[in-house]
């Protein structure tokens, strides 16, 4: 379980508004999740993934719904919520169903321009060991990356845990168990970008 202690190695910088976060994560995306196997650290797994991001009526929270292709006829779904508290320089990140504790991440860096980059960190646990958790969100020209890394000691290198890579677009089809797989739909996704979401401070 992740703790609520926030890291203090870096001073928080100017951060994007909650509306900018929605602009970056909203809409439909298609791509992959690549992660390191906890049982075998030399093994990496990639899953075709599609995502839909929507904002709450008060524009203060973004809900991101993930659908993963975990094999023939096996689609796995999960939903997260993001809430940026600008005054506290904190990003609240948790499960939409409330089954996973909401994690408060301290904003460590925001850089606008090309690309737009948001880095957040929190003290917690990974693989049953205390660790510093880092999430990096990068948005540029219709591409979205969400990278998770962990650090077990202050001077240790950052360890890759997982990375989402998406392109912005609309879906040509809907998965149908036993007929059309999520991977097939992801490959058929229109790659033309209707907008290029960006952060603005």
pLDDT tens digits, 27-66: 899 999 999 999 998 999 999 999 998 887 777 888 999 9
Question: Cα–Cα distance between 198 and 118 in angstroms, integer?
Answer: 11
Q: What is 18-37+45-188's CATH superfamily?
A: Calycin beta-barrel core domain (2.40.128.20)
**What would the two tokens of residue 133 be?**
């958790």
In the chain, where are the structural domains located? Answer: 18-37+45-188
Q: What pTM, to 2 d.p., does this model score? A: 0.78
What are the Cα distances from residue 191, in Å, to 60, 73, 125, 140, 153? 29, 25, 37, 15, 41
- Cα separation, 148 vs 133, in Å, equals 7
| C-alpha distance across the termini of the chain, in Å | 32
If DSSP states are collapsed to H, E and C, what string results for 6-52?
CCCCCCCCCCCCHHHHHHHHCEEEEEEEEEECCCCCCCEEEEEEEEE
Per-residue pLDDT tens digits for 103-162: 999 999 877 666 778 899 999 999 999 999 999 998 887 899 999 999 999 999 999 999
Q: Identify the three-state secondary structure at position 162.
A: strand
């Amino acid at each position: 379980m992740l703790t609520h202690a926030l890291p203090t190695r870096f001073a928080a910088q100017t951060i994007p508004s909650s509306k900018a976060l929605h602009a970056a994560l909203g809409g439909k995306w298609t791509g992959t999740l690549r992660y390191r196997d906890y049982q075998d650290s030399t093994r990496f797994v990639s899953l075709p993934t599609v995502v839909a991001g929507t904002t709450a009526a008060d524009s203060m929270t973004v809900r991101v719904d993930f659908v993963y292709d975990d094999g023939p006829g096996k689609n796995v779904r999960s939903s997260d919520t993001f809430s940026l508290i600008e005054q506290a320089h904190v990003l609240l990140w948790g499960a939409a169903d409330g089954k996973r504790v909401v994690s408060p991440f301290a904003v460590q860096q925001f850089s606008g321009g090309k690309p737009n980059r948001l880095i957040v960190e929190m003290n917690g646990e990974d693989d049953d060991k205390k660790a510093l958790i880092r999430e990096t969100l990068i948005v540029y020209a219709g591409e979205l990356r969400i990278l998770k890394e962990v650090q077990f000691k202050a001077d240790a290198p950052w360890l890759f845990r997982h990375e989402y890579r998406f392109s912005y677009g609309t879906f040509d089809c809907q998965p149908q168990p036993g007929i059309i797989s999520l991977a097939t739909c992801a490959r058929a996704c229109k790659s033309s970008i209707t907008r290029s979401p960006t952060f603005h401070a």
